[in-house]
Every structure is written in structure tokens, then in C-alpha cells.
């Protein structure tokens, strides 16, 4: 079992920045590829970004590429999402998720491939 707790959400003006954190506890954090997803009101949950176990392989949705950066600190059992140049359309509840894998390279944008989820943190971008 892995417990995930997101933090760092809030209200920011368009063009601003936020840094989300996701702290993991339970099983070995370095055995899990990590992902960020988001869900806006009335919309389905969508992929934002993912990072592999240890080699730093990363993957971004086209909508956030060049603006968001995912990273992880295995010593702190934490994954981060640095969000710059925020837009009103980035407004959503952001969730982190963990995918158990033995591959140092594996990352995924598929919701159903993730095993554990956090409770989410609200990000609101005003225009």
C-alpha cells in the first residue's frame, strides 16, 4: 500500500507559478513511476505528466509541455510538479498517482495503469 498526499495548490493569477508536491509513504517510493493528472469541473480526468523510477525519463501532455516540469526526490519520497506560465484552462484538481514497475524507464499517461492515487489539490488560475 502507498499513501499519497498532494500539497501546494491554490489561487494564482494567469502567468503565475505554483509548485505542487506529492509526498508518498508506505512501500518503497523508488519502485513506483509517478504521474500527475488533473480534472476540471465537468470534464474527465486527464494526464498531465509522468516520471520514471530513477533515470528521470519524463513525459508531458502537449497542453503543458514547456510550461510544467516534473521531478522527483527519492530520498524524500516526493514528486513535484513545477507549473509556470499558468493559464485559466489549467484550473483543476490535480492528483498524483503511483504505478508499480520494475523498469527504470517505464512511464505512462494511462489512468488505468496507476495503482495508487492521492486525494487531490485544487489549482485555480484567474484571468
3-state secondary structure of 58: strand
pLDDT category, 1, cuts 50, 70, 90?
confident
Residue pair 21/80 in contact by the 8 Å Cβ criterion: yes
Cell numbers at 109, concatenated: 499517461
Flag whether pLDDT at 26 surpasses 90: no
Residue with cell 500539497: 7
Residue pair 74/33 in contact by the 8 Å Cβ criterion: no
Q: What is the C-alpha end-to-end distance of the chain, expressed in Å?
A: 40
Residue pair 92/127 in contact by the 8 Å Cβ criterion: no
Q: Residue 23: how many CB atoms within 10 A of its CB?
A: 16
Flag whether pLDDT at 3 surpasses 90: yes
**Rounded percentage of the chain residues whose pLDDT exceeds 70:** 100
Residue pair 115/29 in contact by the 8 Å Cβ criterion: no
pLDDT in tens, 45-84: 999 999 998 777 999 999 999 999 999 999 999 999 999 9
pLDDT in tens, 105-118: 889 999 999 999 99
At a CB cut-off of 8 Å and minimum separation 6, what does 42 contact? Answer: none
pLDDT category, 28, cuts 50, 70, 90?
confident
Amino acid at each position: 500500500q502507498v499513501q499519497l498526499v498532494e500539497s501546494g495548490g491554490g489561487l494564482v493569477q494567469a502567468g503565475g507559478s505554483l509548485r505542487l508536491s506529492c509526498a508518498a509513504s508506505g512501500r518503497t517510493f523508488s519502485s513506483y513511476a509517478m504521474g500527475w493528472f488533473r480534472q476540471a469541473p465537468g470534464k474527465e480526468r486527464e494526464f498531465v505528466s509522468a516520471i520514471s523510477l530513477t533515470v528521470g525519463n519524463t513525459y508531458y501532455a502537449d497542453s503543458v509541455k514547456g510550461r510544467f516540469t516534473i521531478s522527483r526526490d527519492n530520498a524524500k519520497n516526493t514528486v513535484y510538479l513545477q507549473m509556470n506560465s499558468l493559464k485559466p484552462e489549467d484550473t483543476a484538481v490535480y492528483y498524483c498517482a503511483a504505478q508499480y514497475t520494475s523498469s527504470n524507464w517505464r512511464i505512462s499517461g494511462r489512468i488505468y495503469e496507476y495503482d495508487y492515487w492521492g486525494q487531490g489539490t485544487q489549482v485555480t488560475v484567474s484571468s
